[in-house]
Amino acid sequence: MRGYLDHLTVERGLSANTLSSYRRDLDRYLGTLAAVGVTDLAAVGAAQVEAHLARLRAGDDDHPPLAVSSAARAASAVRGLHRFALREGMAGADPSRDVRPPTPPRRLPRALPVDDVVRLLETAGAVTATGDQAPLALRDRALLEFLYGTGARISEAIGLAVDDLDTDDGAVVLRGKGGRTRLVPIGGYAVEALRAWLVRGRPPLVAAGRGTPAVFVNARGGALSRQGAWTILRRAAERAGLPVDGAAAVSPHTLRHSYATHLLDGGADVRVVQELLGHASVTTTQVYTLVTVERLREVYATAHPRARG
């Protein structure tokens, strides 16, 4: 298992969060095998793999039933381990080859209407009684404008260094999954907000800290955390009257979904959106085309006099 996880780290470049999930999934799998006396992957049969995956969905005394998406991820980890063992000569066969993981339900990403996005962004940078913006208000506005203006993942935003930004040319280098980098244009509103933050807001905070190269910093001058970014968005969403709890809650990924959907609604080619989002496969990006089709159906149903029988 350690060899497989090292392979995923070095050769596949999986994120720390994904590796942590895979490690938990495989620890549980090996525990299941050990409970029935199997300590060698070469001795595992298809029935044992199927029984383990069925147990994940059913749950047991120590674990609640896994959701379909989590069970699918666990199945992927198990199958990957067995493929790795076969390739490395640790086993003579892959018992998971014909085992089909559960298929997660297809969930369309939820995009905010443009008016909601504008309201969210405008509430992010509160103005003081004197008409000025405090450093943290400048940061909040710059962060949310950046997320919507570039389609960046939250991990890409909080990992952004000052040297990655070029506000003169309106471009940024984003470092995405698997160590892949991409050059993405930044819209005028985001550039304006970033300049205000970098010139008037960030310097006093960084001077009080340890001189981090991160673009977005916290009140102590250190790099902003993922949780800190979530709090900024949640606070702005509450002020804008947008949902912050439940299935419809606004999240950093909501801004990424909105970015992609609004580009496609505006006529952008799906291949261009793929490059902007940093998707390795256009198949991932094509889910947004389904969202725009749903929007077209809504417009047709409400606007055409013969849309409803």
148 is known as an active-site residue: no
Catalytic entry in 153, 202, 257, 262: 153
256 is known as an active-site residue: yes
288 is known as an active-site residue: yes
Catalytic entry in 177, 226, 235, 239: 177
- Calpha distance 307→64 (Å, rounded): 46
Catalytic entry in 4, 22, 29, 288: 288
Catalytic entry in 256, 257, 259, 262: 256
Catalytic entry in 100, 253, 271, 297: 253
Catalytic entry in 73, 79, 257, 279: 279
202 is known as an active-site residue: no
153 is known as an active-site residue: yes
177 is known as an active-site residue: yes
Residues labelled as active-site residues = 153, 177, 253, 256, 279, 288
